[in-house]
Amino acid sequence: MKDKVVIITGGSSGIGRALALEFGARGSKVVITGRNTERLDEVAKALDSINADNLCLQLDVSIEADNQNLVKQTLDRFGRIDILINNAGISMRALFEEIELDVFKSVMDINFNGTLYATKYCLPHILESKGSIVGVSSINGYRGTPARTAYTASKYAMNGFFESLRTEVMHRGVHVMVACPGFTGTNIRNAALTADGSSQGESPRDEGKMMTSEQVAKKIYRAIQRRKRDLVLTSQGKLAVFLNKWMPSRMDKIVFNVFSKEPDSPFKK
């Protein structure tokens, strides 16, 4: 990966930040995006400290023009694009009957449309470099969970989009991978949107028992090196994908029981 130009959306925290440092430490030229300038500056300093050539851009992936600008600035700085990692994302937690449709749309705009726009404008250059396009999806892209309808819809859409795109470019040297980390100890659940669009503020799960962002980043890095098709992480995640394929009705009951026991579950009245 030395001297490869890698774009990581949502690179100012969590898995995105860990990916930026992982690629930077191994000699890649790193471009990250994010909406929080302060966090972007912190990642830029961390990359500078390991002598990683980097470009940190404050932009919103859900805005099409921002993605065009991302590609332009990357080409102006580095002259090529080898890898795109669509990592930017936001979660939510609310029953569908209670969620405001604007909140649902916001989740889709960031998680799916952000991926769509970035991939659209990076694709011509990745076709040229015969590089990689990666979607950081979720086990929710294989198995829906209650009170996360918008998040699940966005990840199913991402998985289907990349499956279709992969078959379009598979004979043109482009690698397309979907990575599903499973539960990871990041701030995504703390920042998850509630029914009215406000942040949840506190995770309903035990973050200490999850994979770290750094562990996930190393797994994704190696999978890109090996040009893997899919990456499903954690034994729990792999089991969920397997059972949902072969025992979907049973999984409906299992998933309901697990999520209804979460602290402050929306099923508890």
Longest CA span, the chain: 56
How many Å apart are CA 33 and CA 115, to the nearest integer? 13
* Dihedral angle, C-alpha 101, 179, 56, 165, nearest 10 °: -80
Q: Which residues contact 269 (CB under 8 A, 6 or more apart)?
A: none
E strand residue ranges, 29-92? 29-34, 54-58, 83-86
Residue type for position 60: D
How many Å apart are CA 268 and CA 260, to the nearest integer? 7
* Residue 151 bears catalytic tag: yes
Active-site hit among 117, 151, 156, 221: 151
Q: Contact at 8 Å (CB) between 220 and 231? A: yes
Token digits of residue 150: 């918008």
Residue 245's φ and ψ, nearest 5 degrees, are -75, -40
Catalytic residue annotation = 151
